[in-house]
Structure 1
Amino acid sequence: MNLTSRITSVVNATPLDTVITGISTFFLSELKYKQLPEITLPVNRRLGHLIEKVVSELINASENYQLLHENVQIVQNKQTIGELDFIIQHTETKEIIHLELAYKFYLYDASISDDVSKNWIGPNRRDALHEKIAKLQQKQLPLLYHEATKTALPYLKLDSIIQKVCVLSYLYLPYTQKIALDADYQKAVAGYYMNFETFQRLDNPAKAYHIPSKKAWGIHPASNENWSSFEDVKEKIKHNLTEKRALLCWQKHKDTFETFFIVWW
């Protein structure tokens, strides 16, 4: 995995705005630094943990924010009841922020509901955007004011801390379907999704493909150097779909690149 591309993908990712989340948004563009930091990413870590590491290093490298705490375990009666992602402070205003981070991929399925906000689901239909937002609102943010948090962070005035979220999201629409989306959703659209039959039908010899590992999701495919033909990737795709695992696919066609999901449902 190209580390520079991984870092750049986080910096350039689109955070969902307050209009969607109902929570004040922290934009990574607020971080000011002379150059992107050099980051050593941990091995054998899940995608979410890799992104947390990148954001942590970006905050540390910034000139206008200080990282006070990260991954704060909140323990009650010897049991961990939750975790606070970041506590950061603006170096000039001294404003302290409790920041919750998410890095998510959602596909739009209009058959779920008449409510657009409830139609964004995970690639394998095991999670949903509205559920993630509800968790942030009802569990993650209220955790700051839990009695056990006072013990974990005794030197902070918790009531004066501002809370924000950074929900970095990649949204995918069904192939060929025209979906009327508000601009707040549209700016986070990263591609489309299709089933295997459509993928096979659209293939031609001029196209090349790569199935990135989940750790590389969100990286722009132009950084990839190893490409394969349809015949080289089809068995891997069919096997994963049989196991009900949707796959992200990068496509190169002449000088253009596309990113899309191939789904089993």
Structure 2
Amino acid sequence: MTTDRLIIDINNDIDWLKASQPLMRHSNIHFFNTHQPLTQNTQSLVAYGKPPIFRLGHLFEEVVDRFISLTSKLETVARNIQIHNSKTTLGELDFLYRNCIDGSITHLEVAVKFYLFCPDDTCLNEALPIPSLAKFIGPGSKDRLDKKWSRLTNHQLQLTANPVTQAALTALDLPLPHKSELLLTGILFYPYQADRFDLIKQHVGLEEVIHPNHQYGWWLPRKEIDQIKTQALNEHWQFLLLPKHHWIAGASHYDAQEIEDKSLSFTALKVMLDKRHIALPIMIACVQKHKDGFKAVARGFIVEDNWPRAPSGSNK
């Protein structure tokens, strides 16, 4: 194994995807069905360049492609199809896939996202269709759910209706799709101890678009880490720091011995945070030890105290 490559077992990510739920819902959008029977995956290791080359979105596309290949009735026709209009790029189609039973072709857009709900954020434009969606912010503070949702629904899913796209597919000898589908999944993180149902109900428009069964976790700023102390000690939590290439399936990427070796007690986690030995933001998996190994019971994010705003004087 070369030192400049990440070797990832995406079987874990495929299993996570199969059990996942959408982040959003909408009556006029077709959503990809991830709850399908799959054949056994015999090729599960994929290689990627290490950060900063690594992109989580590229890994997720590989997971989806492998998922499609493992279903009994679907097959990928093409991926990452660039659509150009003269000298400009109109967009890209993530997938075209075929239903082998009826021969229908579907255009599929995919994304796996992780957003933190910031109820106190004030940088909102009230002219947005659903202003509260802007309170779901990416851990790096550069991405927001309202922007992603708008891009997917108003642009990406509409691409195949454009005559330029249809001409491009014909020129590439690719079939025109009968419909478009969306696969938007991931995890939404809420302030620790907050009631996510109450938060969603309190913010106009969220209850209609946030999927009621979405995956969720908690988040805390560094200085408030003691909030989780009681629960961590009472429920015997250990904390596994997750690199970005393990954000999808989390602790499933580690066997029991690896978790034993890599996980931290609450005390050890707090010491490392106090001494700033951990780069933030960091996703963590909370695990409990059982007689037959470890069980992942929660996901969390720890962020800098001034998140989501950049430090004073920073241009990032």
TM-score, structure 1 length as denominator? 0.83
What is the Cα deviation at residue 198 of structure 1? Answer: 2.3
Match of 1:40 among 40, 45, 67: 45
In structure 2, C-alpha distance between the alignment counterparts of 1:10 and 1:258, rounded to whole Å: 17
In structure 2, the CA distance between the partners of 1:29 and 1:222, relative to structure 1 (3 Å rule), is closer
Partner of 2:31: 25
**How far apart are 1:33 and its partner, in Å?**
2.9
Is the contact made by 1:39 and 1:54 (CA closer than 8 Å) also made in structure 2?
Answer: no
Q: 8 Å contact 1:37–1:58 — kept in the other structure?
A: no
Q: How far is the alpha carbon of 1:105 from its aligned partner?
A: 0.6
Alignment correspondent of 1:231: 268
1:130 to 139, 146, 153: 146
Tell me the equivalent position of 1:176.
193
Contact 2:84 2:91 in 1 (8 A): yes
1:143 aligns with 159
In the alignment, the residues of structure 2 paired with residue 233 and residue 198 of structure 1 have an alpha-carbon distance, to the nearest angstrom, of: 10
Letter in 2 for 1:68: V
Distance 1:192 1:233 in 2: 17
- Answer yes or no: is the 8 Å Cα contact 1:10–1:51 preserved in 2: no
Secondary structure of the equivalent of 2:90? strand
Distance 1:233 1:77 in 2: 55
> What is the distance in 1 between the residues matched to 2:23 and 2:41?
23
Q: Establish whether residue 69 from structure 1 lines up as the match of residue 85 from structure 2.
A: no
Aligned to 2:283: 248
Say whether the 8 Å CA contact 2:105–2:175 is kept in structure 1. no
Cα distance in 2 for residues equivalent to 1:168 and 1:37: 25
Q: Pick closer, same or farther for the CA change 1:207–1:61 going to 2, 3 Å.
A: closer
Question: Residues 153-172 of structure 1 correspond to what in structure 2 (within 5 A)?
Answer: 153-154=169-170, 155=173, 158=176, 161-172=178-189
The equivalent of 1:121 in structure 2 is 137
State the TM-score, normalized to the length of structure 2: 0.71
- The alignment status of 1:9 with 2:45, answered yes or no, reads no
For the residues of structure 2 that align with 1:92 and 1:86, how far apart are their CA atoms? 18
Query: Paired residue for 1:219?
Result: 249
Amino acid at match of 1:192: W
CA RMSD of aligned residues (A): 2.9
Q: Tell me the CA shift for residue 177 of structure 1.
A: 1.7
Q: Find 1:189's aligned residue among 203, 210, 215.
A: 215
Say if 1:74 and 1:149, in contact at 8 Å, map to a contact too: yes
User: d(CA) in 2 for partners of 1:197 and 1:253?
Assistant: 24
Q: Which runs of 5+ in 1 are unaligned?
A: none
Residue 4 (structure 2) aligns with: none
Alpha-carbon deviations, 1:8-35, whole Å to 9, x = none?
1222222234338x522112224x4333
Structure 2 residue matching 1:68: 3-state secondary structure? strand
SS in 2 for 1:81: strand
Structure-2 separation of matches of 1:97 and 1:234:
51
- The answer for unaligned runs of 5 or more in structure 2 is 1-7, 125-129, 201-206, 308-316
CA contact (8 A) 2:157 2:182 kept: no
C-alpha distance in structure 1 between counterparts of 2:252 and 2:96, whole Å: 34
